[in-house]
Amino acid sequence: MGKIFRYECKRLLWNKFFFGLLLVSLFYGWQVLSGVTILGVSHTAPFSPWSFGDYLCRMVPLLWIGALFFLTFFTSGRARRAAVLTDAAPMPPRRYALARCAAALAGTALLALACLGEAAVFYGWYFKWYHWSTLLLPALVTLTPPLVFALGSGWLLGRLRPWLIYVWMPVPFALAALPLPEALGLWNGSFFTRYPLTLEALDPAFSLPPAAAAAQCVLLAAGAALLAARARQGRIRRQAGEAGI
């Protein structure tokens, strides 16, 4: 299983599309950091969890696209044609799916880490600020649920129709344009700019209202459930042409 994971990582990460996506993410990230985050959001410091969270919310659409892009390696028509060979092998489908899920998660985590690393470099460079541990919680809360959900839902959609993954890619952009309720503020980035103002304190400590925390938990649970469902799926099919992906 380790070997499959390594080869899948190589397929996903050692190609011009990944490097292109990485470069675009880093370029956009630097623009956000040096143009928006540097000013601080909601009257907080640029290196406050709120400003950092705002930066991450702006990065989520690109990371979402990256996560779905990794899935195209498993759900494309070409991948389906390769699945007729891999399906005939005796490795249990669950283990195989797990190795591939792990590779997609690793690729997504790598993209996210590149964005986090860029922010760390930015804070060190401009503010000589190195207390990164205070940013861990907003990073986990902001990134983990949508990215796990992107992988889970993307896998399901890609299995139904490969092109649905591409339709799914601009969803975060659509959410950013919608006036979502406060509990879903993390989904369109409004949470980090609005919520600190309601706390009536200067540079308040990071906290999450129960409704927003519940929304993120639901998103994470839904993503994890979809990934688990994919891993549980058997490979014997009754319909011709339906390949295991």
- Residues of the shown chain interacting with another protein in the complex, contacts defined by CB under 8 A: 1, 3-4, 7, 10-11, 14-15, 78-92, 96, 236-240
The two tokens of residue 130 are 């190195």
Q: Which is nearer to another protein, 82 or 211 (CB)?
A: 82
Nearest distance in Å: CB 96, another protein: 7
Nearest distance in Å: CB 19, another protein: 13
Tokens 């929304």 sit on residue = 215
Nearest distance in Å: CB 71, another protein: 15
- Cα 211 from Cα 30, distance rounded (Å): 31
Beta carbons within 8 Å of 129's beta carbon, 6+ residues apart: 47, 123
Q: Which is nearer to another protein, 17 or 129 (CB)?
A: 17
Q: Which is nearer to another protein, 88 or 201 (CB)?
A: 88
- Cα 235 from Cα 16, distance rounded (Å): 31
Q: Which is nearer to another protein, 17 or 28 (CB)?
A: 17
- Cα 48 from Cα 176, distance rounded (Å): 22
- Cα 85 from Cα 235, distance rounded (Å): 12
Q: Which is nearer to another protein, 6 or 43 (CB)?
A: 6
Nearest distance in Å: CB 26, another protein: 23
Nearest distance in Å: CB 25, another protein: 21
Alpha helices (H) in 14-135, listed in sequence order: 16-35, 49-75, 77-86, 93-127
